[in-house]
Structure 1
Amino acid sequence: MARRMDAVLLGLVDRLVAFCRHVHRKIGTALRRSQSQRIGRQQAPDGTSYAPRKMPVRDKAGRVKRKKMFAKLRQTKFLKVSASPNEVSVGFMGRVSRIARVHQDGLSERVRPRGPRAHYERRVLLGLTEPDRYLIRNQLLNHLQ
């Protein structure tokens, strides 16, 4: 009797763990999409625009790159979701994580190996906005129904 009850309870716990991982994966995917879209709009989580690019010192006058910053960082290839039964995280993986951290925290870094150091303005790439919090809450409530 006790063994049968243990087997039933273990089965329920396994299903609960799988369900939690599934819900966290869905939340992470939705958050990644939201973060990617916000980075594409060049906005920090608080709604402010990113600091503009610096004018190059030794370049032709008046020519600054017109393309949006962080175009490749937004890709699913670099912006990864990690989900477990207890947590979900969205972040940059691999070599690009260093680039993202420098911009996220406004640090200084060498432009190239043994090259000059450059200070990068703080551009917050990842963070939760109010709509993101609402999205998380709705995802959880939808899965609990």
Structure 2
Amino acid sequence: MASNLEALETWAAVLLERLEPGARNQLARNIGQELRGSQQKRVIAQENPDGTKFAPRKKRNLRGKQGRIRRKLAMFKKLRTASYLKVRGDSNAVTVGFTGRIARIARVHQYGLKDRAERGAPETSYEQREILGFSEADIALIRDNLLSRLT
């Protein structure tokens, strides 16, 4: 995957040199917004970039829930919204990611780290769930967006 991304970067660098800075800014914003949309769709589908499903949540004993119909709770429901998943693009780079406290939560799940669910709670080891990442479709999306802008 990294080699595909590096190949795309070297190929695109030559083409991007021909664009004016304002056009590069607009292109970066467009690519960033489309990447955010693809990341959001992938998180809604609960999939890693390689197509595998997220590790399921741990079973919890919720004592107050007997006798009620429990819906399947989707992970990262708020995290995938545009207010948390930020896009920044300028003439040199495009970034799609999280900031602040939300970034810490996302990083714990992205890499499968240990964290506390709340202050004073015991440390819990979280499964790795790649919230952000490049899939083959994302690389094709970037390539197609570049080609359509340059033609």
Q: Normalising to structure 1: TM-score of the pair?
A: 0.84
Contact (CA 8 Å) 1:45, 1:128: kept in 2 or not?
Answer: yes
> Which of 124, 132, 150 is equivalent to 1:144?
150
Q: Which residue of 2 aligns with 1:59?
A: 62
Percent identical across equivalent pairs? 43
Q: Which residue of 2 aligns with 1:100?
A: 106
Gaps of 5+ in 2: 1-16
How many residues were matched structurally?
A: 131
Question: Matched residues in 2 for 1:125 and 1:103: separation?
Answer: 7
Counterpart AA for 1:55 = K
Q: Which residue of 1 aligns with 2:95?
A: 89
Q: Which residue of 1 aligns with 2:133?
A: 127
- Three-state SS of the structure 2 residue aligned to 1:109 is strand
Question: Matched residues in 1 for 2:45 and 2:104: separation?
Answer: 22
> Which of 17, 22, 47 is equivalent to 1:18?
22
CA drift at 1:17? 0.7
Q: Normalising to structure 2: TM-score of the pair?
A: 0.81
- Three-state SS of the structure 1 residue aligned to 2:20 is helix
Counterpart AA for 1:29 = Q
RMSD of equivalent CA atoms: 2.0
Q: Which residue of 2 aligns with 1:46?
A: 50
Q: Larger Rg: 1 or 2?
A: 1
Question: Matched residues in 1 for 2:83 and 2:44: separation?
Answer: 15
> Which of 20, 28, 32 is equivalent to 2:36?
32
Q: Which residue of 2 aligns with 1:4?
A: none
